Structure 1
Amino acid sequence: MLCTHSNREKTQAGGENRKRNLLRLQHAVKRIQNLQPKNEEKIISRDVEFDEDAMWNWDEEKVERQTVMIPKETPPQQEEEEGTGQTDMERRNQQAPGSPRRPPQSEETEEETPPRRTKLLSDIYETCNFVMMEPESFEAAAKHEVWVQAMKEEIKMIEKNDTWELAERPKDKEVIGVKWIYKTKLNADGSIQKHKARLVAKGYSQLPEIYVEQPQGFVAKGCEEKVLRLKKALYGLKQAPRAWYSRIDNYFMNQGFRRSLSEPTLYVKRQGNDTLIVSLYVDDLIYTGNNEKMIHDFKEDMMKTFEMSDLGLMHFFLGIEINQEKEGIFICQKKYTETLLKKFKMESCKTVTTPLVTGEKYKKEDGSEKVDGSIYRSLIGSLLYLTATRPDIMFATSLLSRFMQSPSQVHYGAAKRILRYLQGTKDFGIWYKSTNDAKLVGYTDSDWAGSADDMKSTSGYTFSLGSGIFSWASKKQATVAQSSAEAEYIAAAAASNQATWLRRILEDMGEKQEEPTTIYCDNKSAIAITKNPVQHNRTKHIDIKYHALREATTRGEIELKYCSTEEQLADMFTKALPRDKFEELRMKIGVSHKHIKGEY
């Protein structure tokens, strides 16, 4: 609470004070905006005194209201370049040494705070539910029935699996603590799918005999001094992931599945012309097949053996939204993009048409002020996750990830530009049209000596199966290339390695590539090096691992073909492109709005 002096002269003589509530500080505490609760009069004053031990008694004069009022968010300040949306990190760094400061405005020209707006109760409830989604402690979770029920289900499952047994506390062994982890699983539209409680061991040790404390809220009555001796692995132990994988792997093997040698989480089962394919990610899995009975029997047996739940047709998986139609499949991360924009206060920013400025060179020491590395790394990490369905930001994100150790204002500004680009394309994703053409085709490209710090080149490649691309990469090369042909040769070798792996997976899934996989390259000299190993003087210094490209070509697995730079789809994974070229390639690789659908 604060007291406002109604008149300076009167105050100096022990004048009258008015009790008010603080609304906001203005311009480095030169003025304070405060509220008289009785009549809701708002005054801006320089002369106030703070009483930190007192507070307003709101119960004295309650006014019945029919709506809930929430202060309107402060409008974001105008930003450099394009767009708005300023984070705490920028506010801490925006006053550079020696920069001119804005003179304080007079009280007569001071603009009033924007009026408060009324929010719907449903929006407020949604916000409150979001805050309460995932408690950080058992005490917080125990106050909500949904989490109590989730913990009961976890204990029930552990006891059913005969994971532990009560035992006397050992004197010669350390007893490991346990902790509850809470996770809210969401649907594609952001609604709650289920509340999940997981009991995790805190020891992170791998011992032949392990004892853990009894979990909070589930201590056996009359056995409070006893501990639990583990008979099976529990989450948090080093052996837990391996134990789970061994169990489910044995199940698949006993059910007649064949594990892929190239991808250990891919299982395929064949019965004549019928095929069932299962892909595993920890305890989440997706499956597909051409026989309804095989699929039905598999689901029933899985739910019986592991007590898993069938979520039906896939709409949401690992943060990726999937829309399945007769004409094809559209995947995107719109919800994640919106959350990302809100996290970095960019949900109202102006949009740009490309992720990067054409011709801009980024380096570690650019002369600009350093920024908070943790915030920068959080942003880049979030963008890298988004590249799972947004290959159009792959190069920009990969480029900026090189500066995570010591980012500058220039680097952070470039990362924010990616957010501005996403603001205008958050509905975008990849469209995979239905097609019988399952021919693997690749493109490879490089940007010779593109790094301003060490003159290393950037490799980029992409692959498709007759529709939108499904595999892509953008990575700085490990060595300095002495020519553009050498840089292209190294990039082609990386694409060849990926193609070899993809061919093996496709064969495991019943889509064997009978012909060599075509990889398009826009450098004739690199193609010549691949086909002619006699040019020893030009290639003797190249690392031997890159010559695997020649072996793949000789075996008939890979065929490097020439294409013009205008037709090179991998061009967008090696450099920043002007708008027209960028949008053309973006459409060709299958990235578009759901209703537009890519042309590739």
Structure 2
Amino acid sequence: MDVNNAFLYSDLDEEVYMLPPPGYRRKGETLVCRLHKSLYDLKQASRQWFSKFSESLCAYGFVHSTTDHSLFILRRDGETIFVLLYVDGIVITGSSSSLITKVQDMLRQNFKIKDLGTLKYFLGIEVARSKKGLFLCQHKYVLDILQDSGYTGVRPTNTPMELNLKLTNDNGDLLDDPSAYRRLVGRLIYLTVTRPDIVQAVNILSQFMHQPKKPHLNAANRLLRYLKTTPGQGIYFQAESDLQVRAYCDSDWVSCPMTRRSTTGYCIFLGPILVSWKTKKQHTISRSSAEAEYRAMANTTCELTWLASLLRDIGLQHSLPIPLHCDNQAALHIFANPVFHERIKHIEIDCDLVRKKLQASLIQPTKIDTGQQIANIFTKTLGQDQFRFLASKLDVHNLHAPT
């Protein structure tokens, strides 16, 4: 039977078959062709690929990271090798070049792979290296966005969003072609991988994907003008630095004019290096600014728990407890005094989470002045001076800036 023209059939069970095409099956027959390898376009294809890849690495001595299942770690003869998998892209690094070569040879025996050499470009992220450290940016990606949008010759601006701008679903006319706005915002979302300075603006723009209007497009175009100012800006990872973890969390109470929900923002540093950041609208309405701040502390605590576990898997030792900087005194009082039942009974789960991590010596909430709260850049639209000050604290750099 010629199975090349057979129709694909995908079942939810582990066994997958190919049905013969019409005309090849006689009346009453139920013959099928069993697949020995998973094919593209089947639901199980990606899972089977990852399973095959994992089996090969684990058979060689690798183990899964408990916090990131796509990260594989090999420790042998005092050396450590890390393999990171994203779909079919693989990044290999470690402390021994000879052991890395052996891992590459093992992969060639099991898979058809292509060695692209030293990491310079991965998933649209450009990697520049020196003895002082690594620099990650998306310079080409930004230029492509500007060119596709026709904004290569516009006048640049110094902030990603206009001060005190409030976008809603009610104001303005609907766009004739909403797909252009959705495509633009989708590309900007991926840009936040190396651009923490635009996270807050992109978070606001992404809330209007379902029904974009002209004011929303104008705000997106202003963000493009800001990107034209710093297309080569990115994150710098220093080769030598302390491994002290510190975190900053903040919230903007009832920042959404439509739902009255608050916004959580946090950033986490490993020494001077920014390693994690996030802006997210809270799931429920907070009755006070202290409650909104406490929810932000709980979210940051969850991220710190995951990050501490990841650092243990990698083998990096850091001091505990981790300073968690908050600028709301009322939230710190709730944290320190567990008898405020009337105020905190509706956020009891968040309170228990933070207190248990304090008792485990994972975190240590600390008061910080509002003017020094770095997480403000993830929750509020700021003026030019304050934005520049906080952006400098994020330790982002523009490698392509003139010297």
TM-score, structure 1 as length reference: 0.62
Give the CA deviation at 1:497.
0.3
SS in 1 for 2:390: helix
SS in 2 for 1:519: strand
Distance, in Å, in 1 between the alignment partners of 2:274 and 2:161 is: 21
After superposition, give the CA deviation of every residue in 1:468-513 in whole Å (9 maximum; x if it has no partner): 3121100011111111111110011111100100000110000133
Matched, 1:517 2:348: no
Contact 1:435-1:466 at 8 Å conserved across structures:
no
CA spacing shift, 1:255–1:485, aligned 2, 3 Å: same
Give the CA deviation at 1:549.
1.5
Give the CA deviation at 1:547.
3.3
After superposition, give the CA deviation of every residue in 1:146-170 in whole Å (9 maximum; x if it has no partner): xxxxxxxxxxxxxxxxxxxxx3569
Matched, 1:211 2:42: no
Matched, 1:310 2:115: yes
Matching residue within 240, 249, 259 for 2:54: 249
CA spacing shift, 1:345–1:229, aligned 2, 3 Å: farther
CA spacing shift, 1:524–1:324, aligned 2, 3 Å: same
SS in 1 for 2:258: coil
- 2:184 match: 379
Contact 2:243-2:317 at 8 Å conserved across structures:
no
Identify the range of structure 1 (397-406 vs 431-440) with the bigger mean alpha-carbon deviation: 431-440
Output the aligned Cα RMSD: 2.2
After superposition, give the CA deviation of every residue in 1:94-123 in whole Å (9 maximum; x if it has no partner): xxxxxxxxxxxxxxxxxxxxxxxxxxxxxx
Q: Which amino acid aligns with 2:249?
A: T
CA spacing shift, 1:297–1:169, aligned 2, 3 Å: closer
Q: Which amino acid aligns with 1:317?
A: F
Matched, 1:329 2:160: no
After superposition, give the CA deviation of every residue in 1:68-116 in whole Å (9 maximum; x if it has no partner): xxxxxxxxxxxxxxxxxxxxxxxxxxxxxxxxxxxxxxxxxxxxxxxxx
SS in 1 for 2:323: strand
Q: Which amino acid aligns with 1:536?
A: H
- 2:230 match: 425
- 1:370 match: 174
Q: Which amino acid aligns with 1:246?
A: S
Distance, in Å, in 1 between the alignment partners of 2:314 and 2:16 is: 41
Give the CA deviation at 1:531.
2.4
| 1:330-479 map, 5 Å | 330-366=135-171, 368-371=172-175, 372-479=177-284
After superposition, give the CA deviation of every residue in 1:7-42 in whole Å (9 maximum; x if it has no partner): xxxxxxxxxxxxxxxxxxxxxxxxxxxxxxxxxxxx
Matched, 1:176 2:3: no
Number of equivalent positions:
390
After superposition, give the CA deviation of every residue in 1:130-160 in whole Å (9 maximum; x if it has no partner): xxxxxxxxxxxxxxxxxxxxxxxxxxxxxxx
Contact 1:586-1:592 at 8 Å conserved across structures:
no
After superposition, give the CA deviation of every residue in 1:38-87 in whole Å (9 maximum; x if it has no partner): xxxxxxxxxxxxxxxxxxxxxxxxxxxxxxxxxxxxxxxxxxxxxxxxxx
Distance, in Å, in 2 between the alignment partners of 1:426 and 1:209 is: 48
Distance, in Å, in 2 between the alignment partners of 1:346 and 1:204 is: 46
Higher helix share: 2
Matched, 1:488 2:293: yes
Identify the range of structure 1 (244-253 vs 509-518) with the bigger mean alpha-carbon deviation: 509-518
Q: Which runs of 5+ in 1 are unaligned?
A: 1-166, 178-202, 215-226
Distance, in Å, in 2 between the alignment partners of 1:354 and 1:212 is: 58
Q: Which amino acid aligns with 2:7?
A: I
Give the CA deviation at 1:555.
1.1
CA spacing shift, 1:262–1:335, aligned 2, 3 Å: same
Q: Which amino acid aligns with 1:435?
A: E
CA spacing shift, 1:326–1:453, aligned 2, 3 Å: same
Give the CA deviation at 1:273.
2.9
Give the CA deviation at 1:239.
1.0
Contact 2:301-2:363 at 8 Å conserved across structures:
yes
Give the CA deviation at 1:211.
2.5
Give the CA deviation at 1:228.
7.7
Q: Which runs of 5+ in 2 are unaligned?
A: 22-31
Q: Which amino acid aligns with 1:534?
A: V
Identify the range of structure 1 (270-279 vs 331-340) with the bigger mean alpha-carbon deviation: 270-279
Query: Percent identity, aligned pairs only?
Result: 36
Give the CA deviation at 1:212.
7.5
Contact 1:266-1:277 at 8 Å conserved across structures:
yes
Matching residue within 286, 303, 309 for 1:504: 309
Matched, 1:231 2:36: yes
- 2:68 match: 263
Distance, in Å, in 1 between the alignment partners of 2:157 and 2:10 is: 46
SS in 1 for 2:131: coil
Q: Which amino acid aligns with 2:18?
A: Y
Identify the range of structure 1 (380-389 vs 561-570) with the bigger mean alpha-carbon deviation: 561-570
Which segments of structure 1 move beyond 6 Å, counting only runs of 4 or more? none
SS in 2 for 1:469: strand
Q: Which amino acid aligns with 2:111?
A: F
- 1:552 match: 357
TM-score, structure 2 as length reference: 0.91
Q: Which amino acid aligns with 1:176?
A: F
Matched, 1:282 2:87: yes
Contact 2:3-2:20 at 8 Å conserved across structures:
no
Contact 1:266-1:278 at 8 Å conserved across structures:
yes
- 1:296 match: 101
Distance, in Å, in 2 between the alignment partners of 1:377 and 1:212 is: 39
Distance, in Å, in 2 between the alignment partners of 1:463 and 1:278 is: 24
- 2:26 match: none
Contact 1:503-1:512 at 8 Å conserved across structures:
no
Contact 1:468-1:591 at 8 Å conserved across structures:
no
Give the CA deviation at 1:259.
0.6
Give the CA deviation at 1:311.
1.3
Contact 2:324-2:365 at 8 Å conserved across structures:
yes
Distance, in Å, in 2 between the alignment partners of 1:213 and 1:462 is: 55
After superposition, give the CA deviation of every residue in 1:291-333 in whole Å (9 maximum; x if it has no partner): 2221121122212221212211100011100001111111110
Contact 1:438-1:466 at 8 Å conserved across structures:
yes
Q: Which amino acid aligns with 1:429?
A: G
Distance, in Å, in 1 between the alignment partners of 2:242 and 2:19 is: 55
- 2:24 match: none
Distance, in Å, in 2 between the alignment partners of 1:204 and 1:344 is: 41
Give the CA deviation at 1:441.
1.3
Distance, in Å, in 1 between the alignment partners of 2:351 and 2:277 is: 19
CA spacing shift, 1:477–1:277, aligned 2, 3 Å: same
Give the CA deviation at 1:373.
2.4
Q: Which amino acid aligns with 1:370?
A: L
